[in-house]
Amino acid sequence: MTALPYLASSTGFGLRRLVHNVRYLVFALGLPLGFYLLYNAMYGRDRVGGVAFSLVLMVAMATFGAVGTTLNSAGTQTALDREAGWVRQLRLTPLPPWAYVAGQLAVAMVASLAAVCLIAVAALAVNRIAPSPAVAEGVAAVWLGSASYAAIGLALAYLLDASTVGYGALIAYLASGFLGGLWVPLSLLPPWFTTVAHLLPSFHIADMAWRLVAGRPVPLGDVGVLALYAAAFGALAAHLYRRRG
Amino acid sequence: MAESPEEAARVQDLGYRYGPRWALTGVDLEVRAGESLAVLGPNGAGKSTLIACMLGLLAPHRGTVSIYGTTPRAAARAGRVAGMLQGATLPQFASVLDVLRFAARLYPAPLSVERAAALTGVADLLRRPVDRLSGGQRRRVQFAMAVVSNAPFLFLDEPTEGMDIEGRADLWRIVREHAAAARERTVVFTTHDLSEADRHADRIVLLAGGRVVAVDTPGALKARLARRRVRFAAPPGVTAQLLSRRTGLAVVPCASGFEVATDDSDGALRALISLDLGLYDFRTAEGSLDEVFHALVAKESGDGVAVSGE
């Protein structure tokens, strides 16, 4: 068998496991959706910097959902698989070890796509906005940007173990949400929050998408920071994977 | 390295250590294609470490392992081995059917999932999430994963651990059927249960303290190990050393006086009586395999870890 069918098997199996994990999906998809509907009901008619707040909020909550799903699929689930001996069991099969890891990343990106699309569909439906290329670009940017969190999740999975990965992922999730300026607009917070936010990939994902939905060009600074994060954590994960398997 | 075609695995001078403690030292072993080989020994003898090295899960610190003339990893990549490991090795959030389908897809010539499920008695568990299986059911599903692969070389590490008596009997029946269904299916299993090795293995490797103590067929091991005992009492002043020196037998003290373990009880009796030392109360007894086995293992591992038998 060549490489592709292994990857397809691994991803397909991972996706089946994802949809079996109903309680998790309710939280991971429900939390950002709930926040979206709540804030939208409160401030949906406002405008921020010439853009409808509902769109700003859509980007923020899509990012929040994408961060949570990628951290869980690539991070928590991978750490649990290692602890459960499943990764060890797979070593006895013809599945190349990289195909398992790549499958986990692919599942993370599919979960992230679901989270992002859910928020986008909700935003369009609730606010009766017509889908536009700018909105589509913003949504795609959030999804692609969340690849950096898939890398972070994978690094966490190899850095931590099953008993601690949940905390690690939760801290990364909440910090990315609050400090990244996804829950409360940074303009309402003291200036040092903005300084901190610029260090977090979640801010750069949202910032990239905010600019796109406002019809502005792709901000290369955000793209650069996200690529750096993805490369750094990807390299860390690869290093730890080679040492710990 | 020349490999005969009927050789499934070759282990040479294998050594593995956890920190400074050697779990295996100088292990040499040949597994013949089509045989069922039991790796028998007490807990801590190195059985699972040996299996892990043979499967390529652990990289040996000394020596080599070859499976079908290649590395363990290459044999696994080629789909020529399947294993049932100790402990829970099933993924969360998947049904039994999902797991078996996934496993089947990875191998070049798998059995159908339906067939493997029927064979291993998990057909009525297929829709069940793996998380909601009992310990014995999990073992069964792990076993079904190995069976569905249809791989020619099966490694079963303590396969009956956590199973009830009925489950055990069932598992061994399936192993036999599954092995018989393919030409030259090789099975290596570990157990600390002497009777299990006796009944289900063509050959037994006796492992103790990380070393191979004996390798032979159960029958030959019995013939070699299960020696008769001659027991007797003696008047005061007669010592084991004296008796040993004068007869050339290994006479040791026991609860009822003295004891000799021997292959030739008649000869031993004649030698002892002809000493004319007034020895009395002679009895001969079949040596129990368990007992001798235990002594052998205890001698080798330097402790008295019990070897259970049924």
Report CB contact under 8 Å: A92, B87: no
Please write the tens of the pLDDT for every residue from B201-250: 999 999 988 999 889 998 888 776 667 788 999 999 899 999 999 998 98
Determine the residue among B92, B101, B132 to mutate to test chain A binding: the one whose Cβ has the most chain A Cβ atoms within 10 Å.
Answer: B92
Q: Is the pLDDT of residue B297 over 80?
A: no
In a domain, B293, yes or no: no
Give chain A positions within 8 Å (CB) of B83.
89, 92
Partner-chain residue, chosen from B85, B98, B106, that has the shortest CB–CB distance to A95: B106
CB contacts < 8 A, A to B, total 79
Decide: B200 and B33 in contact? Cβ < 8 Å. no
Q: Is the pLDDT of residue B308 over 60?
A: no
Contact with chain A for residue B108, Cβ under 8 A: yes
The reported pLDDT for the residue numbered B301 is 56
Looking at residue A232, its amino acid is A
Residue A7: strand pairing partners: none
In chain A, alpha helices (H): 3-20, 22-43, 53-70, 77-84, 86-91, 97-127, 133-145, 147-159, 162-178, 191-197, 201-213, 220-244
Give chain B positions within 8 Å (CB) of A28.
none
Report CB contact under 8 Å: B78, A17: no
Q: Is the pLDDT of residue B2 over 70?
A: no
CATH number, domain of B258, equals 3.30.70
Torsions phi, psi for B2 (to 5 deg):
-80, 130
The pLDDT-based confidence of B304 (bands split at 50, 70, 90) is very low
Specify whether B63 is located in the same domain as B203: yes
CA end-to-end span of chain A = 23
Please write the tens of the pLDDT for every residue from B25-47: 999 999 999 999 999 988 888 99
* Boundaries of domain holding A80: 3-244
Specify whether B109 is located in the same domain as B234: no
Q: Is the pLDDT of residue B1 over 60?
A: no
- How distant is the alpha carbon of residue A135 from its chain centre? 18
Looking at residue A41, its amino acid is A
Partner-chain residue, chosen from A6, A92, A94, that has the shortest CB–CB distance to B55: A92
Specify whether B242 is located in the same domain as B191: no
In a domain, B306, yes or no: no
Q: Is the pLDDT of residue B298 over 80?
A: no
Torsions phi, psi for B154 (to 5 deg):
-110, 125
String of b and e for B94-105 (b: at least 16 CB within 10 Å)? bbbbbbbbbbbb
Report CB contact under 8 Å: B76, A88: no
Report CB contact under 8 Å: B93, A17: yes
Number of domains in chain B: 2
Contact with chain A for residue B98, Cβ under 8 A: yes
Please write the tens of the pLDDT for every residue from A162-219: 999 999 999 999 999 999 999 988 888 999 999 999 999 999 999 999 999 999 998 8
In a domain, B297, yes or no: no
Specify whether B51 is located in the same domain as B152: yes
Interface of B with A in 46-85 (CB under 8 A): 55-57, 76-79, 81-83, 85
Interface of B with A in 154-213 (CB under 8 A): 155
Which chain B residue's Cα is nearest to A6?
B106
Q: Is the pLDDT of residue A110 over 90?
A: yes
In a domain, B302, yes or no: no
DSSP assignment of A19-75: HH-HHHHHHHHHHHHHHHHHHHHHHTT-EETTEEHHHHHHHHHHHHHHHHHHIIIII
Report CB contact under 8 Å: A93, B87: no
Specify whether B119 is located in the same domain as B203: yes
State the nearest Cα–Cα gap between A117 and chain B, in angstroms. 24
CATH number, domain of B201, equals 3.40.50.300
Cα distances (angstroms) measured from residue B223 to each of B216, B228, B261, B289:
10, 10, 13, 9
| ipTM value for the complex | 0.88
* Boundaries of domain holding B94: 7-218
Beta-carbon contacts of A41 under 8 Å, excluding residues fewer than 6 positions away, are: none
The reported pLDDT for the residue numbered B90 is 94
Which chain B residue's Cα is nearest to A81?
B91
Number of domains in chain A: 1
The reported pLDDT for the residue numbered B223 is 72
Q: Is the pLDDT of residue A155 over 70?
A: yes
In a domain, B95, yes or no: yes
Which chain A residue's Cα is nearest to B54?
A92
Report CB contact under 8 Å: A18, B92: no
Last residue of a domain, one of B188, B218, B248: B218
Q: Which of helix, strand or coil describes residue A235?
A: helix
Specify whether B38 is located in the same domain as B186: yes
In a domain, B18, yes or no: yes
Which chain B residue's Cα is nearest to A78?
B91
Cα distances (angstroms) measured from residue A128 to each of A120, B93, B184:
12, 37, 68
Please write the tens of the pLDDT for every residue from A46-80: 888 778 889 999 999 999 999 999 999 999 999 99
Specify whether B238 is located in the same domain as B113: no
Mean pLDDT, residues A141-154 taken together: 97
Mean pLDDT, residues B120-135 taken together: 93
Interface of B with A in 132-151 (CB under 8 A): 142, 145, 149
In a domain, B298, yes or no: no
Which chain B residue's Cα is nearest to A97?
B77
Mean pLDDT, residues B295-300 taken together: 66
